[in-house]
Structure 1
Amino acid sequence: MSAEHEFAGSRFLGKKFNMNRLNITDSSFIVASVEAGNTTTKCILTSTDLKTGITEVIGKHVRLTREIQKPTNESNVFGKTLGGTALTKETLAELVRDTIRQSLFEKNLTVDDVHFVVRSTGVTTASGEQLEMIILALAEGCLMVGFPPRKMTGYLSLDNLPDKLKSYSYLDNVYFDGAVAGVRPPAGPGEGIVSNEMEGELALAGVKEAGKHSGTDLRNPCIAIDMGTTLSGRIADGSRPYAKTIANFCGYAGAVADALVQNIDSNKKSIYEFILPNNESENERGEYVFSESILKEIESAKIEIMKSVHVTRVPDGRDCFGPFPVNMAAAKEADLILFGCDVGENGSDFEKISVIGNQIYEIGGINAVSFLADEMMSEIAVLLIECIRNEGLLVEEDLIGITGRAGTTGRKKELILQKLKERNIITAPETKLIFAEDGLARGAAVMARCMNSLGCPSNPIGGRRGGKCIMKERHELQNMK
Structure 2
Amino acid sequence: MNIVIPGNLGKIRDYTENDGLFFLQYLLNLQIDIYIYMVFSRSQAKNICIVHDVPVPIIIAPGNVPEPEYKQKTYHIVLSIDVGNTTTDCIITGTNLETGITYLINRNVRLMKDIPKPESGEEIFGQTLDGHILSKKAVEALVKDIIYKTISECSLDLNKELDFAVHSTGIVAEWESPDHINNYLGSITKGCLDAGIPMAKMRPVMTKSSLPEDDRKFSMLDKVQYTGSVAGVIPATGLSGEDLIANDMEGDLSLAGIKQAAVNTPIDFRNPCVSIDMGTILDGRITENVPKDRKDPYARTIGCFIGLGGAIADTLVKGTGQVDKKYGTAQEFLGDDVKTGFFSKKESGLCKDYSNKIHNLIQVEMVPHHRKKFGQVPIDPQIAENEKIAIIGVDCGEDFSHYHELQEIGREIYENKGLKNFTEVIDRVCAQLSLRMIDVAHKEGLLHENSVLGFSGRAIMSGRKPEYVLEGIIQRNLYPDPYDRLIFVSSALPRGASVMARCMGSLGNPKRPIGGNRGEGCILGRRKAFNA
TM-score of the pair, normalised by structure 1: 0.90
Shift of 1:285: 10
> In the alignment, which residue of structure 2 is the partner of 1:13?
52
Q: Which amino acid aligns with 2:211?
A: L
1:137-161 superposed Cα distances (whole Å, 9 cap, x missing partner)? 2211211111101111111112222
Seen in structure 2, the aligned counterparts of structure 1 residues 102 and 394 have a Cα distance that, compared at 3 Å, is: same
> In the alignment, which residue of structure 1 is the partner of 2:226?
176
Q: State the aligned residue count.
A: 470
2:273 is the alignment partner of 1:222: yes
Determine helix, strand or coil for the equivalent of 2:338.
helix
Q: In structure 1, which of residues 64, 67, 82 is the aligned counterpart of residue 129 of structure 2?
A: 82
CA distance, structure 1, for counterparts of residue 122 and residue 297 of structure 2: 48
Seen in structure 2, the aligned counterparts of structure 1 residues 154 and 16 have a Cα distance that, compared at 3 Å, is: closer
> In the alignment, which residue of structure 1 is the partner of 2:202?
152
Q: Which amino acid aligns with 1:351?
A: H
Shift of 1:366: 4.7
1:203/1:440 contact within 8 Å kept:
yes
> In the alignment, which residue of structure 2 is the partner of 1:319?
372
> In the alignment, which residue of structure 1 is the partner of 2:442?
389
1:297/1:360 contact within 8 Å kept:
no
Cα-Cα RMSD: 2.7
Q: Which amino acid aligns with 1:241?
A: P
CA distance, structure 1, for counterparts of residue 418 and residue 79 of structure 2: 38
Percent identity, aligned pairs only, is 36
Determine helix, strand or coil for the equivalent of 1:147.
coil
1:119-152 superposed Cα distances (whole Å, 9 cap, x missing partner)? 1112224222332222112211211111101111
> In the alignment, which residue of structure 2 is the partner of 1:193?
244
Shift of 1:190: 7.5
> In the alignment, which residue of structure 1 is the partner of 2:105?
58
**Comparing 358-367 and 382-391, the one that deviates more:** 358-367
Shift of 1:180: 0.4
> In the alignment, which residue of structure 1 is the partner of 2:142?
95
Determine helix, strand or coil for the equivalent of 1:44.
strand
CA distance, structure 2, for counterparts of residue 100 and residue 136 of structure 1: 16
> In the alignment, which residue of structure 1 is the partner of 2:22?
none
Seen in structure 2, the aligned counterparts of structure 1 residues 466 and 30 have a Cα distance that, compared at 3 Å, is: same
Determine helix, strand or coil for the equivalent of 1:357.
helix
Seen in structure 2, the aligned counterparts of structure 1 residues 282 and 74 have a Cα distance that, compared at 3 Å, is: farther
> In the alignment, which residue of structure 1 is the partner of 2:69?
23
CA distance, structure 1, for counterparts of residue 46 and residue 488 of structure 2: 8
1:78-132 superposed Cα distances (whole Å, 9 cap, x missing partner)? 3201011112222112112222222223333342432111111122242223322
**Comparing 160-169 and 141-150, the one that deviates more:** 160-169
Q: In structure 2, which of residues 244, 261, 278 is the aligned counterpart of residue 210 of structure 1?
A: 261
2:263/2:512 contact within 8 Å kept:
no
> In the alignment, which residue of structure 2 is the partner of 1:166?
216
Determine helix, strand or coil for the equivalent of 1:206.
helix
Q: Which runs of 5+ in 2 are unaligned?
A: 1-33, 39-44, 59-65, 291-295
Determine helix, strand or coil for the equivalent of 2:460.
helix
Q: Which runs of 5+ in 1 are unaligned?
A: none
Determine helix, strand or coil for the equivalent of 2:264.
helix
Q: In structure 2, which of residues 296, 300, 306 is the aligned counterpart of residue 250 of structure 1?
A: 306
Seen in structure 2, the aligned counterparts of structure 1 residues 282 and 464 have a Cα distance that, compared at 3 Å, is: same
> In the alignment, which residue of structure 1 is the partner of 2:162?
114
1:309-340 superposed Cα distances (whole Å, 9 cap, x missing partner)? 11111123222211112222211111111111
1:348-392 superposed Cα distances (whole Å, 9 cap, x missing partner)? 111110111112222355554332211110000011111111111
**Comparing 81-90 and 96-105, the one that deviates more:** 96-105
CA distance, structure 2, for counterparts of residue 238 and residue 17 of structure 1: 34
> In the alignment, which residue of structure 2 is the partner of 1:137?
187
TM-score of the pair, normalised by structure 2: 0.82
Determine helix, strand or coil for the equivalent of 2:512.
coil
> In the alignment, which residue of structure 2 is the partner of 1:41?
88
> In the alignment, which residue of structure 2 is the partner of 1:300?
353
1:6/1:434 contact within 8 Å kept:
no
2:507 is the alignment partner of 1:457: no
Determine helix, strand or coil for the equivalent of 2:69.
coil
1:3/1:431 contact within 8 Å kept:
no
Determine helix, strand or coil for the equivalent of 2:109.
strand
CA distance, structure 1, for counterparts of residue 262 and residue 436 of structure 2: 23
Shift of 1:419: 2.0
1:386/1:425 contact within 8 Å kept:
no
Determine helix, strand or coil for the equivalent of 2:52.
helix
1:236-286 superposed Cα distances (whole Å, 9 cap, x missing partner)? 11225111111111111111111112242336421122234xxxx423799
> In the alignment, which residue of structure 2 is the partner of 1:123?
171
> In the alignment, which residue of structure 1 is the partner of 2:333?
274
Seen in structure 2, the aligned counterparts of structure 1 residues 458 and 340 have a Cα distance that, compared at 3 Å, is: same
Shift of 1:466: 2.6
> In the alignment, which residue of structure 1 is the partner of 2:17?
none
Q: In structure 2, which of residues 429, 433, 449 is the aligned counterpart of residue 380 of structure 1?
A: 433
Higher helix share: 1
**Comparing 267-276 and 380-389, the one that deviates more:** 267-276
CA distance, structure 2, for counterparts of residue 423 and residue 324 of structure 1: 29
